[in-house]
Chains A and B, each alone.
Chain A
Amino acid sequence: MLHRKTLLIVILLLLLLPAALQAQDDTVVIAVGIEPVSMDAWRGFAETGGPGFLNAVEQLVTRDFASGEMVPLLATAWEWVDDRTIQFTLREGVSFHDGSYFNAPAAAASINHTFDPENAFDLLDFVGSMSAEAVGDYTLNVSTPEPDPILLNKMYFVPIGSAQQLMDDPDSYHTNLIGTGPYRFVEWSSGESITYEVNPDWWGHGMMDEAGGEVIFQRAVYRFLPEDQVRTAAVQAGEAHIAQYITPEQCAEVSMSDSARCESAASVETIFIRMDTNSPMLGDVRVRRALQLGIDKDLIIETILGGTATATGQIVNDTALGHSPDISPYPYDPDEAAALLEAAAADGVPVDMPITLGARIAVMPGIDETLQAIASMWGDLGLNVSIEFFDPEGFGQVMLVNIKDVPEERNFVAVHLHGQELLDYHISYRFYFSCDGILSVYCNDEAEALWNAAEPLAGAERDATLQQLNQVAHDDVAAGYIGHLDFSYAVSNALDWSLKLDHRLQAKEMSPAG
């Protein structure tokens, strides 16, 4: 009798559990894949490295993705003082979460700390050097060592942390995120989650348009779930509102459910194919072109990537300066590819050289199948292709090398992702195509001259020169491409949220459905 009673109680508890386990109404729960390295404010420049950081820290300016324009946030106005300096007028009446005031000296201290070479933060490599100087209580000059026409765009990637914290307790900079944002950092449970709660003193309350959103949820929790299937399941089970970066298959599965939907949007990530252009084989432009004509990109995108990419012939998408609407993807034309290889062979080009086709393990969903498909298509052209996957360290060793240091017999082809968050082709070219680029296995004097010419230019002039450069690189098949990658999210139907191009997950842009 006692056993039966116990059994009944257990069953009752199990039946009641689901209701008790749903996410709380005043809390938005977001399942992300990667735990941050630390809580350094500068890590807010990227969602993957700083999940939800932009809830707590804000930038001087942000981007309006509808118009593509930079718009005010902590700065209310700005003007170019000279070709190296922008003078910002800062918002008054703003305070950090630790109670200290936001003003020009505080902003200058934060920016200078972020770009101090001694600190060696990643952001320095990403956007280059800059420094800041307070020229009034609310007037701030931000300068670069050399003229930099995209300095304003770069400020989108510079979150402002508390100067008081840097002065009083610098060690806490790595573990306690203090900014001016709509949510205060509450807790980082290592291995588990980050919790933010509403900042009642936020300057943006009641200023929805200017502040880029409004605070509806009282708390925001970012849970670290490395497995994409588990992130998706958490949304399906009502435990999370958003699951970041899910696969096309999970997207299809979620789309069939009543409780959640899948949202996808183009990202700034491009799947590209980097070829050792100094090898006797890949140094011939006909061979490089043949390799690209030999890949059925549409088939890969439809069957392997589940349609979550847009075929392309260039490394930046149409949001970036230097993107050329005139450049189309290389078409799939195996006959033309075979003819080009034949012509190259007739001229003595060793088209039978072994090609190593490599990628970093798990660099994107479907990378294994993508490489196998490319190798198979190139095999059909009679090429000798082997596949190799690398761990991050090993991939760094084969990728992080300039053309001058690549042995001619290596004949390596890498399939990799490039993200152009700064929306400027000039920077992509520097890394992957310029003669001295740290990741470049390509060098073209004509293109290099155009790249140098574009550097000091701004606006339409810069765009036109970069487009010209893009065309030269395309005609010379400096690299091959598969497509611009879309990123997908499982989103609970209980949440109103629209995905933006920057793929940031900010609670101020979210609200309960209905």
Chain B
Amino acid sequence: MLAYLARRLLQSVAVTFVVLSLVFVAGRILGDPVRLVVGIEASEERVQRVREQLNLNQPLGQQYANFIGDALSLQFGTSFWQKVPALPRVLERIPATLTLTAAALALALPLGITLGALSALRPWSRIDRVTNVISLGGVSIVEFWLALMLILIFPVRLGWFKTSGYGGIEYFVLPALTLCYKPLGRIAQITRSAMLDELAKPYVKAARARGLAERRVVFVHALKNAAVPVLTISGDELAALLNGAIIVETVFGWPGIGRLTIQALERRDLPMVEATVFVVAIFIIVTNLLVDMAYTWLNPRIRFSAAGDA
């Protein structure tokens, strides 16, 4: 198990390195960041001056070597845009995004699993049809539109909650609801499908034949086995939530890492983009590791395989 984890960690370091290298290259070949920093009407003399100030006049190889060296010591330089060290600014924004994504997942997971399981227990019933509508809506809806509709209905028409901003529960409800709807839909769909598969398997019939209570059959046996694909999708959803957070944070004026990423990209703020990608990559890698470890609890065969590898 430890060897498995060590191997996964090494893979993670390699992935982080590749992602950072891609960001470095993309940031420099997709246009001149200096021109965006200084504006369209700046003189060529000024452009050159700023290029020197930002060390963007060095050969690309030298820039890359500096970049990797700095990244290894967690130094991503000073933001072109905010004139402060990039990584601490990114880390400042992490709690806001984590709070939002955690809340969205905390809503989406139980609701999605419950709806999916109920739906699978009574296929083609009214609850199944309602769940289908909800889950299809979730996977199809555009978050930007949903966010604006929620704002117009709740704060503007009903006077409930805040339209935007960061703070207590009144600021929090609408962005969390917006962000949770898509994963809720996907989790409900996967749960329904996985539960239908499990409920049709012989061990369920055998359990029922042995006289086990239906609740135990469904929730202890079938749902636990159905949880493996749900867990997989939940790991993916957590990463997808970070993407969704970009839109939700922008619309609701939520000061998280998603909004910071967009602002940094708009301004070609290379240090900030690099620090953001680094932090997000680490977050996704850690999430995937945790999901892999959870597999071993849900499915002993995976644990055996990991031990066998060791």
Contacts and interface: CB of A to CB of B under 8 A. Distances in A.
Interface string B172-205: 0000000000000000000000000000000000
Contacts of B50: 120
B93 interface: yes
Given A120-B49, A122-B39, A439-B41, A227 B162 contact: no
Given A120-B46, A230-B151, A237-B159, A125 B263 contact: no
A17 B165 contact: no
Interface stretch (B18-26, B29-37, B121-129): B29-37
B165 A192 contact: yes
B159 A17 contact: yes
A319 interface: no
Interface in B201-230: none
Contacts of B166: 189, 191-192
Nearest to A225: B253
B46 A124 contact: yes
Interface stretch (B5-13, B78-86, B111-119, B236-244): B78-86
Contacts of B259: 191
B42 A230 contact: no
Contacts of B266: 392
Interface residues of A, number: 45
A173 to B, nearest CB: 9
B256 A191 contact: yes
Given A125-B43, A393-B32, A120 B159 contact: no
A175 interface: yes
A393 B31 contact: yes
Given A21-B170, A38-B82, A236-B156, A190 B255 contact: yes
Contact of B155 (A192, A233, A393): A233
Contacts of A37: 81-83, 267
B270 interface: no
Interface stretch (A101-109, A146-154, A336-344, A394-402): A394-402
Contacts of A191: 93, 96, 166, 249, 253-256, 259-260, 263
B98 to A, nearest CB: 15
B163 A17 contact: no
A200 interface: no
B40 A227 contact: no
Interface string B42-64: 11001001100100000000000
Contact of B84 (A118, A174, A236, A431): A174
B193 to A, nearest CB: 32
A169 B95 CA distance: 30
Q: Which of B43, B164, B256 has the most CB of A within 10 A?
A: B164
A407 interface: no
B75 interface: no
A224 interface: yes
A18 B50 CA distance: 49
A21 B162 contact: yes
Contacts of B252: 230
A239 B84 CA distance: 30
Interface string A2-24: 00000000000010011011000
Contacts, number: 131
Interface string A124-156: 111000000000000000000000000000000
B174 to A, nearest CB: 11
Contacts of B35: 393, 396, 400
Contacts of A328: none
Nearest to A29: B165
Given A37-B267, A234-B163, A396 B251 contact: no
Given A190-B93, A230-B252, A223 B36 contact: no
Interface in A385-415: 392-397, 399-400
A225 B162 CA distance: 13
B148 interface: yes
A440 B266 CA distance: 26
B159 A125 contact: no
Interface string A223-243: 111110110011011010000
A230 B83 contact: no
B304 interface: no
A174 B84 CA distance: 8
Contacts of B250: 226-227
A175 B84 contact: yes
A174 B83 contact: yes
B89 interface: yes
Contacts of A174: 82-84
B152 A233 contact: yes
B141 interface: no
Interface of A: 14, 17-18, 20-21, 35, 37-38, 117-118, 120, 122, 124-126, 174-175, 189-193, 223-227, 229-230, 233-234, 236-237, 239, 392-397, 399-400, 431, 438-439
26 contacts: A17-B159, A18-B159, A20-B170, A21-B170, A37-B267, A38-B82, A120-B50, A120-B53, A124-B46, A125-B42, A126-B41, A174-B82, A189-B166, A190-B255, A191-B253, A191-B263, A223-B165, A224-B253, A226-B250, A229-B148, A233-B163, A234-B163, A236-B156, A399-B40, A431-B41, A438-B43
Given A21-B159, A223-B253, A233-B156, 7 more contacts: A120-B53, A125-B43, A125-B46, A192-B165, A233-B151, A237-B155, A393-B36
What are the 9 A-B residue pairs with the smallest beta carbon separation, nearest first? A191-B255, A18-B159, A174-B83, A393-B31, A237-B155, A192-B255, A233-B163, A225-B253, A234-B163
